[in-house]
Amino acid sequence: MRVFVTGATGWIGSAVVKDLLLSGYEVVGLTTTSEGARKLQALGAKARVGRLHEHDLLREAAAESDGVIHTAFIHGLSNMSLPTRLRLFAGALNGGVVASFLRILKETEKGAIGALGAGLEGSARPLVVASGVLSLPQGRVSTERDDHVLTIPNRSFSEAAALDFVRRGVRSTVVRLAPTVHGAGEHGFVARIIALARKKGVSPYIGDGANRWPAVHVSDAARLFRLALEKGEAGAKFHGVDEAGVPLRDIASLIATRLKIPVVGIPASKAARHFGVIAPFIGFDNPASSEWTRDTLGWRPEQAQLLADMEAHYFESTSLRAAPRPIGEANSGTVS
């Protein structure tokens, strides 16, 4: 079975590629560079070099495949091509940078999923699209039946674009990832929080620190994508969540202990002073369940949970070098 994977050299995508190869699949990965193509070929995969706005390429690659896993996503400026950056700054004159970014992100994602779905249309072949649990209802444990809160940045457009193809003969499913997809080398929220604590000499949590963050190991997340590809029923939404919610206070306390710095509670009004652009996300109380996903697909997370994984890998200097990706969900790998 040949599977086309977008974002194939990204954090999530590369783990998906490795899991598929180990499971005996033929893999074709989308990457933006010749260096990325060499990395994929070294693993035993084939490579297509291109970006998400190249719809003919995506449609052709999907049509040639037995299934598609879409993990690519634009998380920031560094993930944009030069023409896309120019569109961003031109659009900023009509509504601001954030509004322009979100508009381009939505347009790019919907266009890419539309091209991938068109390549599979009428075939009953699977299309698995990455999303996230981060913008599901706050303050309670969310389930696979919940919809996104549309007043905060969310991935509802990814899900809608994918599931629209169910009526067009595609076995579309969605994998919603925890905001923390952890593992050695991760460079998302947790690595950024550690880097900020190291730089500023203090490890804060917001309020009483009881707000909860779902988490999953990257290898377990990759296996979930494969199971959704193999067994997911059309229209299903799955949750890539191992731990339903890790209190922010526990994360901050571990960081303080390992870096030998104070741990403190700060009011939400001062969060941006320490956390910068990721402050709104840090304060979310966003627990999420994966009970239905486990029962439906037989998915059982097997890797270390977040705090143990942080102890093992997150305080080595090499894990703190990468820049943050403040907008969007988990770091899935990006092309534009």
In the chain, at which residue ranges do the beta strands (DSSP E only) sit?
Answer: 2-6, 26-31, 46-49, 67-70, 126-132, 171-177, 180-182, 203-206, 212-217, 237-240, 243-247, 263-266
Nearest alpha-carbon partner for 212 in 310, 139, 311: 139
What is the per-residue pLDDT for 99? 57
Question: Which burial class, exposed, middle or buried, applies to 234 when counting CB atoms under 10 A from its CB (0-12, 13-18, 19+)?
Answer: middle
What is the per-residue pLDDT for 94? 54
What is the per-residue pLDDT for 251? 98
Domain boundaries, the chain: 2-320
Which residues, at least 6 apart from 86, have a Cβ–Cβ distance to it below 8 Å?
none
**Tens-digit pLDDT string for the chain (336 aa):** 999 999 999 999 999 999 999 999 999 999 999 999 999 999 999 999 999 989 999 999 999 999 999 999 754 445 545 555 444 444 444 555 455 556 777 888 999 999 999 999 999 999 999 999 999 999 999 999 999 998 887 889 999 999 999 999 999 999 999 999 999 999 889 999 999 999 999 999 999 999 999 999 999 999 999 999 999 999 999 999 999 999 999 999 999 999 999 999 999 999 999 999 889 889 999 999 999 999 999 999 999 999 999 999 999 754 444 433 433 334 444 333
- Cα–Cα distance between 133 and 123 in angstroms, integer? 29
Fold annotation for 2-320: Rossmann fold (3.40.50)
